[in-house]
Structure 1
Amino acid sequence: MRTTEPTYASPWRRLAAIVYDGCLLFGVLFVASLIPALLMNTANLGQSPATDSVVHELNTPLHGAFYQAYLVALTVGFFGFFWRKNGQTLGMQAWRLKLETVDGGRISWPRCAARVVAAFVSLGLCGLGFFWIWIDKDRLSWHDRLCGTRLRVLPKAEKS
């Protein structure tokens, strides 16, 4: 039997999984923001406004440092849950990608948190950390290098 080297994820496959997971994460963060916003505004229900103008303003707790930390924790929790469970988010499952450590193991919670933060930094620097994949001989992004992880393409499931 012939063994084959693992195939590492191409930039386009990664991008497709990022878009898919970004849509899912948007929904999670939307609902996670909607719940406290509704709870904080229940005191104002049933009251008529003093003017006819529309005010688009969030309550103070929904745009402070605590709220931002809440969203970061949810983001780390979203990715960490899937990465720790089986190494795949839903977008990664759709594109047959699997996240693993460089020795093929499961990623730890501290690495999950570091990878999410490093990925946002990579993205924030005009995507340079992601564009690095085209240059890197192992097709690793900055956050892969920093955290000792890699994205591997899984083989297609054989039809029975």
Structure 2
Amino acid sequence: MTLTVDPGATPPGLARRFAAFLYDGALLFGVLFSAGLLTSIVVGRQDALRGTAGLAFLLIGLGAYFVYFWTRSGQTLAMKTWHLRVVDGAGQPLGLGRAVARYLLSWLWFLPALITVKVMHLHGAAILGSLVAGIAGYLLVARLHPQRQFLHDAICGSRIITQLPVRS
């Protein structure tokens, strides 16, 4: 299916895109919890996901989820609910390379906060505060972009569009 995408069109509002972000996070919590439980059972250890190997497992699992949906239909489960689609400049679902780049660059949502937590040795509620401030800052940066694009979309040449369901 070819979509006509106006390169100058303003993308869907930040509130809708952020709602999809939160919804994907809720869905992925369940997926990662199940994957972690299964891994712990198979490996026979309660702390199977601790350390670098566990973190790599989780990051690769998350990447597989997003890259699969972005390259197939351009929509994750949450994006379907919120009628959003990620496309390239020609209005097509992302190719594998662009989808992987978008996934890796999407960690810019969290990177400043994670660096702050590490450098300042934050604990408890300060970690949550740092993450909330970092995410809010990332949302504000999108408001500065002429087409209201997130930084990771602007860098890798993707964009979020509204994709309303086709009525039969």
Query: What's the TM-score bracket when you normalise by the shorter of the two chains?
Result: 0.7 to 0.9
- Compute the TM-score of the two structures, normalised by the length of structure 1: 0.78
Q: Tell me how far 1:17 sits from its aligned partner.
A: 0.5
How far 1:68 moved relative to its partner? 1.2
2:37 and 2:147 map into 1 onto residues whose CA distance is: 41
> 2:118 aligns to what?
none
> What is the CA–CA distance in structure 2 between the aligned matches of 1:156 and 1:41, rounded to whole Å?
45
- Deviation per CA, 1:29-80, whole angstroms, max 9, x where unpaired? 11110011122338xxxxxxxxxxxxxxx43x42121221111111110011
Change (3 A) 1:23 1:108: same
1:66 aligned to 2:75? no
Residue correspondence of structure 1 range 127-146 to structure 2 within 5 A: 127=135, 128-146=137-155
- Determine if contact 1:130/1:142 at 8 Å carries over to the other structure: no
How far has the Cα of 1:88 moved from its partner? Answer: 0.4
**Matched residue, 1:82:** 69
* CA positional deviation for 1:103: 2.3
Give the structure 2 partner of residue 27 of structure 1.
30
Structure 2 gaps, min length 5: 113-133
- Letter of the 2:34 counterpart: V
1:10 aligns to 2:13 (yes or no)? yes
Distance 2:161 2:155 in 1: 17
2:146 and 2:165 mapped to 1: Cα distance?
Answer: 24
1:111 aligns to 2:114 (yes or no) = no
Q: Deviations over 1:59-112 (max 9, x none)?
A: 3x4212122111111111001111111100111111110100122122122222
Match of residue 46 from structure 1: none
The residue identity in structure 2 corresponding to 1:8 is P
Identity of aligned residues (%): 30
Cα offsets for 1:133-159 (capped at 9, x unmatched): 22212110100011110000124544x
* Inter-partner Cα distance in structure 2 for 1:41 and 1:75: 23
Q: Shift of the alpha carbon at 1:7?
A: 5.4
Aligned partner letter, 1:27: G
Which letter maps to 2:43?
M
RMSD: 2.2
Q: For 1:47-58, what aligned pairs fall within 5 Å after superposition? A: 58=46
Q: Distance in 2 between matches of 1:78 and 1:156?
A: 22
TM-score, normalised on structure 2?
A: 0.74
